[in-house]
Each structure stands twice: as C-alpha cells, then as structure tokens.
Amino acid sequence: MYRSRTCNRWSCVWAGLTACLALVAAGTLTAAPSAQAGPPRPTSVACPADLADRARCYTGQDAQGAYYAIAVPDDWNGSLVVHSHGGPDLDTGSDPARSLDDLGRWSVLVDEGYAWAGSSYRRGGYGTRMAAADTENVRRLFVEEFGEPRRTYVHGQSWGGNVAAKVVETYGTRRGPYDGALLTNGVLAGGSRGYDYRVDLRVVYQYYCRNHPRPSEPPYPLWQGLRADSTMTAAGLRARLQECTGYASAPPDRTPAQQRNLDDILAVTKIPERTLESHLRFATFTFRDIVHERLGGRNPFGNQGVRYSGSHDDAALNAGVERFGADPSAVRDLSYDSDLTGKVTIPVLTLHAIDDPTAFVEHEAAYRATLQGAHRDRYLVQTFTREQEHSALSDAEYVNSLAALDSWVRTGRKPSPESVSAACAAFDRTYGTGCFYDPDFRPSSYASRVEPRPGGLRWPAMTAAREKSWSRVEGVGIAP
C-alpha cells in the first residue's frame, strides 16, 4: 500500500558503510555539481556526548541563512529523520546552537540507527510555512551530501508538531520525499484557534491584576501582547505575575488577594498553575512578535461573544474584561501560515501526554477533526500516555513510536493504539525510561477546553479549497 524507496545514490550503504563514511569525512566523495554555486558543504564537527564514537556529525548554514545539524550513525539503517523544532524562538536571526542542541536532545533516534537532520530556521519569530520550508531545505541538503535515504520521516514536537504537519501537507505528497510523520505533543489546532486560550489568559489576567500594563503606563490593546517599543523583560513579567498572584510563593505566604486572583485566573482559563508563567510569556512576547513583526500591527485575535466562567463573580468578569474583534485580513494571514487542511496522504502517528500542561491534549481532538473533515483520517493513528510533561517524553516511547511508524510504512499494516502500547516494553528493556501508554484514552473536543469563537466548531479551520484560493492573493500569509 505504501511505497518503499531503495538507495539510488549511495548503493554502498548496505556494503562497506563504514568505508563510505570515511571517504565522505575525508572529502573524497562529493555530491553531483550543481548549475550554480550553493551554500558551503556541511562541516564535520564533534557529536554530542551521547553520540560520541557512534556517529558522524555535521553542521552548516543553508542558502536561506538557516543553521542546521546532521548526524549519520556508524550503523546507519538507511533511513532519515528530519526534525522540526518547537518554539518559536524569538531571536532575530538563526541560532547556530539550536540545531546542535536538538540533535543532543533527540540522539536516541540516532541510537536506533536513523540519520538525523534538523534546521534552526532562518530567523526567530513566528512563521510556520517558513519553518516548514527550512525543514525541507535541510532534507535536500542531506540528500545532496549523503544520497537518497531508503525512507524519510519528519518529526516535530510542540510548535514543531505544527511545522511538521505543515511539511506533510506541503511536501508530503504520495510521490513526494516523505514516507511518514511522527508528531509528539504537537500544537495541532493551528494558529488561528490554537492560541485562543492564551488570548483569554491575557485579558483575564489584566482584569484581575491591572498591572500589564499598569494604569501609569501607556495603554495598548491587549491583543498586541505588548507595545512594540516596550522594554519589558521576562524577569519583569515574572515580577508582575508574582505581585498579583504570589504564584512563586508557597500558599501560606500568599496574601488573600493574591490567592483569590490566582484561583480565579486558573479556574477561568483552565491553565495549570505550573505553566501559568510560560503561557503568559507567550501571550506577551510571542503575541507581540505575531502582531507587530509578522502582521504589520493587525489583530488576528478576538474574544467577542466569549462567556468566561469559573470565577468567584462571573458576571463582573464578563462585564469588565476587555473585548475586541479580529481583523479579517490578519486572521487570513495567520490561518494561511499555520492552520492545517488535513490534506494528508502519508501515514501520521501522534504521541501526546494526557496531562501536557502546554499543548493541551485537546489539540489532538482538533487534529483528528481536521483529518476527518478532509476525509483523510485513515492516515492517522493517535497514541496517548499518562505523562505530565510537554518538552520531553519517555525515550522508550519515542523510539517505539518511530518503529511503529516505520513498520506501518514498510508493511502497509496500520497499527492500533493497543499494538503500539504493547510493543513499547521491548524498547524499555534497552532505555529504561518507562512506557506509560493509555490505549483507551480519547481526548474531549477542543471546544471542551477552549471557548470557541464564531465558526470555531467546524474543522478544518482552513479547507484545502480556501488555502488554494488564498494562495492566489499577493502577499498572503507571513513573510519568511
């Protein structure tokens, strides 16, 4: 049912691989010359400590300015994992350390025999299609340098899950270069709806705390996140959050007013206390990036008609909270950049912590509804674990997930949550990090966690037809 490519540019992969890698490292094997000069070839570097003496590692910068890292294990199985990192980071340029850090973090996949390639993206700030293009660019660089892999998988975690899902829809056609996708703790509701709970946090926080901005500071609409010229730092934001809620103090050390503010904010927004600060940072600094740097000051967010509940006085909250409507052109551009159409033609396996405090597990319900709306859910298998972290899950689960995806691609036999769960124990005997699957879990709808805006119950948020129509609009989306 699913194709399986064979090596066609590195036929010595299966015979004399070590000798071939030595020749590559020595520079005696080169990619075919291109019609015009491209970026410098990858440079050999020391691998992260976890991969020392087991792989060869390379770094470089692509033609768009994105730094990247590549690892080829000594016992390469012939397949490649292309990684999309999360974030987005908010630095101005590409971070040369990011891709190497990601390689160290995901070295377990190289331990399993997969080559690995990851891009740092050409700049910081929001831009899902840009990040998807940079992910595809590093795949092409790998092929130019090391030949066509037998199979290629894209992996993304957190916002990188949104990026990798966009890679699937943009480049992952049936005859395209990708064979499957692994999305872990992904932000899969897309940008036009996936941040509504942070919109709600921004306005609910200000209703109770009145210090972001303070009455003495220049006012601005809260959908901006922060004034473009503000010098507020993350430390400054933490200080204001502490001042209002005492979130960093033990409960006995909070004032009654702080405790009530904290209780109300958490109850209304359904955000876990342990990630309140990180969500408020996103609703401050990343919103500023989206609005001022990517959308020219236009507002993509709205909360008109939202009924807030769970506080000690819902009537007062709903009467006093700031309200605003979105600019349709800004919604269009954010949606075109980051929303998913469900236009999937390759196997996609997801892994998500049930108690993920950052990308709520209900993102998975949104993704399933998106593929169902596109009549493509036959390409989707979703798995869930009884874990409580966002940035890292069990190593045994990661390699088990990739093995299940690889088997699906090679054999055409679609796994089930039960079969994936059962297979994990074999990997845990090697990695000892635990298997926490709950094969019977099914997430509630996205609307059960995040109050929907008008039209927000229909998925996909952006249909393939609308994407095609918008693509004809000059300047649509977010510029790279």
Q: What is the per-residue pLDDT across 391-431, written as a single tens digit (0 to 9) for each? A: 999 999 999 999 999 999 999 999 999 999 999 999 999 99
* 466 class by beta-carbon count within 10 Å (0-12 exposed, 13-18 middle, 19+ buried): middle
Q: What is the pLDDT of residues 130-162, one digit of tens each?
A: 999 999 999 999 999 999 999 999 999 999 999
Q: Kind of pairing, strands 348-353 and 151-157?
A: unpaired
- Identity at 410, one-letter amino acid code: R
* Helix, strand counts (H, E) of the chain: 17, 9
DSSP output for 356-411:
-SSS-THHHHHHHHHHHHTT-GGGEEEEEES---SS---HHHHHHHHHHHHHHHHH
> What pLDDT is attached to residue 172?
86
Q: Give the span between the Cα atoms of 351 and 188, in whole angstroms.
A: 12
Mean pLDDT across 89-104: 94
- Name the residue with higher pLDDT: 443 or 28: 443
% of the chain at pLDDT higher than 70: 92
Mean pLDDT across 183-209: 97
> What pLDDT is attached to residue 37?
61
- What does DSSP assign to residue 15? S
Rg of the chain in Å (alpha carbons): 23
- Find all residues with CB under 8 Å of 348, minimum gap 6, and list them: 165, 168, 180, 181, 182, 183, 379, 380, 381
> What pLDDT is attached to residue 36?
52
pLDDT band at 8 (very low <50, low <70, confident <90, very high): very low
Q: Give the span between the Cα atoms of 194 and 323, in whole angstroms.
A: 19
> What pLDDT is attached to residue 119?
97
What are the structure tokens assigned to 218, written together? 């220049």
Write the Ramachandran bin of 15: left for phi over 0, alpha for psi from -120 to 50, otherwise beta.
Answer: beta
- Identity at 113, one-letter amino acid code: G
In the predicted model, is pLDDT for residue 22 greater than 80? no
Q: Give the span between the Cα atoms of 118 and 313, in whole angstroms.
A: 48
Backbone dihedral angles phi then psi of residue 152, each to the nearest 5 degrees: -130, 130
> What pLDDT is attached to residue 21?
34
pLDDT band at 29 (very low <50, low <70, confident <90, very high): very low
Cα–chain-centroid distance for residue 14? 34
% of the chain at pLDDT higher than 90: 89
β-bridge partners, 67: 61
The length of the chain in residues reads: 480
What are the structure tokens assigned to 404, written together? 């299940």
Mean pLDDT across 262-287: 98
pLDDT band at 466 (very low <50, low <70, confident <90, very high): very high
In the predicted model, is pLDDT for residue 71 greater than 90? yes
